[in-house]
Amino acid sequence: MTVRDILRAKGSNEVYTISPDATIATLLDNLNELNVGAIVVLNSDDKSIVGIASERDLVRKLQGVPNPLQAQVRQIMSADVFVCAPDDSLGLLMETMTERRVRHIPVVEEGKLVGLVSIGDAVKFRMDQLEFERDQLTNYVTG
């Protein structure tokens, strides 16, 4: 199973993005309105990934920032972003998330952002896979 399979199972590859120059107020509005835990931060010029801004970043990095709602996303985003490719295995993805203690990983193909996978997406996909295998074994044994 690959990251591509997870993206296909999600049904939507829409990735929400924000500029590093956007305000924290805008970031908060977007996280709330979109009901997501993280947003990829893209360079306005070349659309390259420059960071990721998550709820965790807000909690850990916003304290002590003067005038926090007017501060820029670049001030609190995680700039060290781990990415994966669509053909990476589910095992590698989950290992990276666990070792790096990250909950969201952008999916990049040929230098272009094509998706975002959360730990919830990975766990749901694995659970669905295990349930399918259980049902197949049950049908084999009882059939």
Residue range 7-42, pLDDT digits in tens: 998 887 789 999 999 999 999 999 999 999 999 999
| Spatial contact of 78 and 105, defined as CB atoms under 8 Å apart | no
| Spatial contact of 94 and 61, defined as CB atoms under 8 Å apart | no
Please report the pLDDT score of residue 65 as a whole number: 86
Please report the pLDDT score of residue 93 as a whole number: 94
Please report the pLDDT score of residue 1 as a whole number: 87
Using CA atoms, how far apart are residues 96 and 73, in angstroms rounded to an integer? 25
| Spatial contact of 14 and 87, defined as CB atoms under 8 Å apart | no
Q: Does the pLDDT value for residue 129 go beyond 80? A: no
* Of 14 and 110, the one with more pLDDT: 110
* Of 68 and 140, the one with more pLDDT: 68
Please report the pLDDT score of residue 135 as a whole number: 78
pTM: 0.86
SS (H, E, C) 80-124: CCCCECCCCEHHHHHHHHHHHCCCEEEEEECCEEEEEEEHHHHHH
Please report the pLDDT score of residue 51 as a whole number: 97
* Per CATH, domain 3-142 is 3.10.580.10: yes
